Structure 1
Amino acid sequence: MAQETTQAPPSAPTAPARALLPFILPAVVVGVAASLVFVGVSTAAERLQRVLWGPLPDALGVGRYSVLWMFVVLTATGVVVGLVVWKVPGHAGPDPATLGLDAPVLPPAVLPGLVLATGLMLAGGPSLGPENPVIAVNVGLAAWLGGRFLPRTPGTLWPVLAEAATIGALFGTPVAAALVISEALAGRPMRGRLWDNLFAPLTAGACGAMTTTLVARPTFDLGLPPMGHPRAGDVLAALVIASAAAALGLCAVYAFPHLHAAFRRLRHPMLMLPAGGLVLAALAALGGRLTLFKGLSEIGELARDPQGWSAGQFVTMTVVKLAALLVAASCGFRGGRIFPAVFVGTALGLAAHALVPAVHPSLGVATAVLGMLLAITRQGWVSLFTAAVLVASPAVITLLCIASLPAWLLVTGRPQMQLRADGTPVR
C-alpha cells in the first residue's frame, strides 16, 4: 500500500530585485520630504512657544507660567485655532477624534490649514503631539505630488510610504515604521513575502529617520539608571504596573465619546475650542507647567530628578495630563495622542517608584508607558518599542514582553480612543 505523503503549502514567491528597485527613489524622496515637513512644523512651533511662554509674558510683567498667563494663552490658542478651523479653506481637515495613525488622503487645499492649526496648538500648550496631523499632511502631499510626477506608480503606495517616513522621522528610527507597517499588513492579503512588502516603506522610514537625526538630533532615552539582573519581584511589579496603566488608560477611552459629544453640543469651533482652552488652563493650573504641551521635553525633566517630586505630585500630574489629553482630543484641537500618553505613563511609573522604592524607576516608567500606550493607541509594536527606547535597558525588554500579555488582555476588544463619523467608538 502506497504511503500517503502530505506536502507543505508552497510559500509566497520572493520578488526579484528588478521589481523592487523602482521603488527606491520614490521612497527616498518621500522619506526626506516627510522628515523636513515634520522638522519644519516642530521647529516653527517651538520658536513660537518660546515667545509665547518667555519674552512676551516678561514684557507684560506677568509670570511665564502663572495661572493668569495659562488662562490667557490657552484660551487665545483655542480662539485662533477655532478661527483656522472655521475660516481657512478645508477647515483643518476632518474631526481629529476620527483620525488615527492611518490617515486618509486629504485634498491639497486642506493641508495648509491643518499645518497652521497643528503649529498653533503645539505652541499654545494643549496636551497633544504632532504625529496624527503631520502624518495626514505628508500622506496628502505624497499622494498629490506622486500622482502628478510619477503617475505610473501605484496610487496605494504613496500613503504607505508617507506614513512609514513620518513615523521614522517622529521616532528617529525606521524600526518603529517597520513595526507599524508590518502590524497593518497582518490584517491584509499580501502579494509576495513580508520583507518584499516592507522594502519600500522601510526605505522611506530609514530616510525619514536619518534626515531627522541629521537635522534635529532627537533622543528618547530618558537617562534613567539601567536595571540589573531581573528578580522575581520585578516580574510582579511589571505585571501590576502595566495592567494598572492599561486600566487607567481605558478609563479615558471610555470617557472619550461622552466628552466629545459634550463639546459637539456647542456646535461651532469658535465655541468648542475656546471652551476646551479654558478647561485645559484650569487643568494646567492644577497640575503645573509640566502638564502643558506634548510632553516629550517635560518627561526628560521628570526623569532628570525622579526624587524631586513626591508620589502625590506624580499621581496628580498623571491624572491631570490624562484629563488634558482627553479634553484636547475631544474639543477639536489637531494633534496626536502618543506623546502625551508617554508623559502620563512616565509620571505613573515614577509614582510607583516613589510609593514602592523597590520598584526600579526604569522598570516603573517602561511598564507604565507600555500599558498606557496599549490602551490609548491599541498599537502593540509601537507601545513595546516606545517603552523600550525610553529606558535603553536591555534587562527591561523581557519584562516588557511579559507585562504586555495581561495588559493586552485588558484592552483587546474594548473601544478605542478613535471615533467613527457618527460619534461611536471604533473597536
Structure 2
Amino acid sequence: MATTEPQLAAPTVRQLVMLCIPAVVVGVLCALSLWAVDEVSGVIEQGVWKALPGALGIDPTSGWWIFAVLTVTGAAVGLVVWLVPGHAGPDSATTELVGPILRIAAVPSLALAAILGLAGGVSLGPENPIIAINISVLVTLVGLLWKAVPTQLVVLMAASGTIGALFGTPVAAALLFTGIVAAAKGGGALWDRLFLPLVSAGAGAITMTLLAHPSLIIPMPAYTKVNGWDLLAAIVIGVVATALGLVGVYLFPIVHRLFHALRNPLLMTLLGGAVLGLLGVLGGPITLFKGLSQMGQLVTDRADYSAGQLTVIVLVKLVALLVAAGAGFRGGRVFPAVFIGTALGTLAVALVPAIPLQVAVAAGVMGLALVVTRDGWVALFVGVAVTDNLLILPILCLAVLPAWLMVTKAPEMLIRPAPELTPTSPRAAGGAGR
C-alpha cells in the first residue's frame, strides 16, 4: 500500500521526548492543511451546486446541470494538469497512499487540481493529494527548522498526521504504519519507532476534530447480539464486495489506457468529466463527490431506494471511480470505495431484510477497502469505524479471511509507470501534454 520504507534506528528515550514537539507541530499542520483544502473546496461546491443554480432558477439535481458541471470540472482540472507549473504532480492512478516525496514546486498545482475535483463532484477523495502535499511541505519546512530530524521520520510523521486527520483518529495511522515500520531496519521495540508517528497522528486527529468534527460513523439501528447467521452473511457479503472490487481492479488499467491514449491532459479530463456527468445523470446526485456524507444519506434514506436503484448506484459509483481515477483527476480511491461498500451492504439488506444493517454495511465496506488499500488492518478498521460498534470486530476478523485469500495474489488498483515515466522524471511530472 505504501512504497516508503524508512530505514530508521530505534530512537532513545531522550530523542523521543525531544522530537515530540516537532511531531505535534507536524500533526497540527497536517490537519490545518486538510481543513483548508476541505473549506476551500466546500465554498466552491456551495457556489457551483447551490448558490449559482439557485440564483439562475435552475434545479442543481437536473441531469443537464450535473453533466455540465462535471464536464467543466474536467476541463478545469485538465488545464491545471496541462498548463500550470508543476502539472499537479504525478497521475494519482500511479501513486499509492504514501509514495515518493513530491517536488515542492508541484504542490500548488496539485492542491488546485484536487480542490477543483472535490468541489466539482468527481468520485475521488482527498487522501492521496493531501498526503503528498503535506509530506512535501513538511519535509521542506522541517528541513529548514529542525535539520537534525531525519527526512524519512518526517515522511512518517506527516503521513500519520494526515491519516489521523482524515479519519479523525490515530488508530488508522497506527494500523497502517505498523507494517511499514516493522519492515524498517534497526533494533528496538516496534512501539519506539511508532511513537513519534502516533504523536503526529494524534495531534492531527484532535486538531481536525476540533475544526471540522470528521466522522466515518453512519447512523444505523443498534446491533447488540452476534449469531452464526450474521457471521455467514458477513462472509458472503465480504466475498461479494471483494469480487466486485477485483472486477474494478482488472478493468482499471483498461480504463486508464483508453483515456491516456488521448495523451493531452486537457482532452483526458474533459472526456472524463463528460463521462462522469453522464454517470451522474444515471446514478443521481448521491453518486457524486467523494462519498463521505453521501453514504450516511444513502443509509438514512434507504427506504426510498429499491433494490434495483441500489444496484444502479453501486455500479455507477464503481464505474465513476474507475473513470475519475483513470482519466487523470487527482484524488484518492479509499473514500469512494467506502461508499460503494456501504451501498452494497444496503443493497444486501434490501434483498434479505433479516441481515442486520450494521453487519451488512461493515462487511461491504471491509471488502471494498481491502481491495483498494490491500491492507487487512485498515479494512478491518474502516469496517468497524462506520458502525461504531466493537461487536462487529470479531465478525469481520473471520469474514476478512476468505476476502484476503481472494486479493493476496491479485493485482493492485494501481498503474505502475514505465521506467521512463517515474514520478521523479520531468516527463511524468509534466504530463503527456507538456
Same fold (TM over 0.5): yes
Structure 2 partner of 1:3: none
- Between 1:222-231 and 1:205-214, the stretch displaced more is 222-231
- Contact in 2 for aligned 1:226/1:391 (Cα 8 Å): no
Q: Mind listing any 5+ residue stretches in structure 2 that lack a counterpart?
A: 1-8, 420-434
CA displacement 1:57-88 (0-9 Å, x = unmatched): 12223211111111110010011111111111
Distance 1:301 1:153, change over 3 A: same
CA distance in 1, matches of 2:21, 2:397: 36
CA distance in 2, matches of 1:299, 1:261: 30
CA displacement 1:18-43 (0-9 Å, x = unmatched): 13112101101100000000000011
CA displacement 1:384-420 (0-9 Å, x = unmatched): 1111010112221110111000000000121001111
Q: Name the aligned partner's letter for residue 329 of structure 1.
A: A
The structure 1 residue matched to 2:370, chosen from 365, 371, 374, is 374
- Between 1:181-190 and 1:383-392, the stretch displaced more is 181-190
Matched, 1:353 2:349: yes
Matched, 1:173 2:162: no
Structure 2 partner of 1:54: 50
| Structure 1 outlier segments of 4+, above 3 Å | 13-16
Matched, 1:398 2:394: yes
Structure 1 partner of 2:266: 270
Structure 2 partner of 1:408: 404
Matched, 1:334 2:330: yes
CA distance in 2, matches of 1:18, 1:88: 45
- Contact in 2 for aligned 1:45/1:122 (Cα 8 Å): yes
The structure 2 residue matched to 1:162, chosen from 154, 158, 170, is 158
Q: Name the aligned partner's letter for residue 359 of structure 2.
A: L
Q: Name the aligned partner's letter for residue 286 of structure 1.
A: L
Q: Name the aligned partner's letter for residue 319 of structure 2.
A: A
Matches within 5 A, 1:125-274: 125-274=121-270
CA displacement 1:296-341 (0-9 Å, x = unmatched): 1101111223222111111110110011000000000000011110
RMSD of aligned alpha carbons: 1.3
CA displacement 1:176-214 (0-9 Å, x = unmatched): 111111022233334311000001000000000000011
Structure 2 partner of 1:4: none
Q: Name the aligned partner's letter for residue 353 of structure 2.
A: P
CA distance in 1, matches of 2:312, 2:11: 54
CA distance in 2, matches of 1:152, 1:167: 24
Structure 1 partner of 2:432: none
In the TM superposition, residue 104 of structure 1 has moved relative to its aligned partner by 1.6
- Between 1:375-384 and 1:234-243, the stretch displaced more is 375-384
Q: Name the aligned partner's letter for residue 31 of structure 1.
A: G
- Contact in 1 for aligned 2:182/2:190 (Cα 8 Å): no
Structure 2 partner of 1:123: 119
CA distance in 2, matches of 1:15, 1:42: 35
CA distance in 1, matches of 2:191, 2:98: 20
In the TM superposition, residue 15 of structure 1 has moved relative to its aligned partner by 5.2
In the TM superposition, residue 14 of structure 1 has moved relative to its aligned partner by 7.6
Structure 2 partner of 1:10: none
In the TM superposition, residue 221 of structure 1 has moved relative to its aligned partner by 1.2
CA distance in 1, matches of 2:180, 2:226: 33
CA distance in 1, matches of 2:409, 2:187: 28
- Contact in 1 for aligned 2:238/2:399 (Cα 8 Å): yes
Q: Name the aligned partner's letter for residue 89 of structure 1.
A: P
The 3-state SS of whatever aligns with 1:92 is coil
The 3-state SS of whatever aligns with 1:224 is coil
- Between 1:32-41 and 1:217-226, the stretch displaced more is 217-226
CA distance in 2, matches of 1:71, 1:14: 53
- Contact in 1 for aligned 2:64/2:281 (Cα 8 Å): no
Higher relative contact order (CA 8 A, sep 6+): 2
The 3-state SS of whatever aligns with 2:391 is helix
CA distance in 2, matches of 1:326, 1:377: 15
Q: Name the aligned partner's letter for residue 56 of structure 2.
A: L
Matched, 1:417 2:420: no
Q: Name the aligned partner's letter for residue 36 of structure 1.
A: L
- Contact in 2 for aligned 1:190/1:197 (Cα 8 Å): no
Matched, 1:38 2:34: yes
Q: Name the aligned partner's letter for residue 138 of structure 1.
A: N
CA distance in 1, matches of 2:65, 2:333: 25
- Contact in 1 for aligned 2:104/2:137 (Cα 8 Å): yes
Structure 1 partner of 2:277: 281
Q: Name the aligned partner's letter for residue 405 of structure 1.
A: L
Structure 1 partner of 2:301: 305
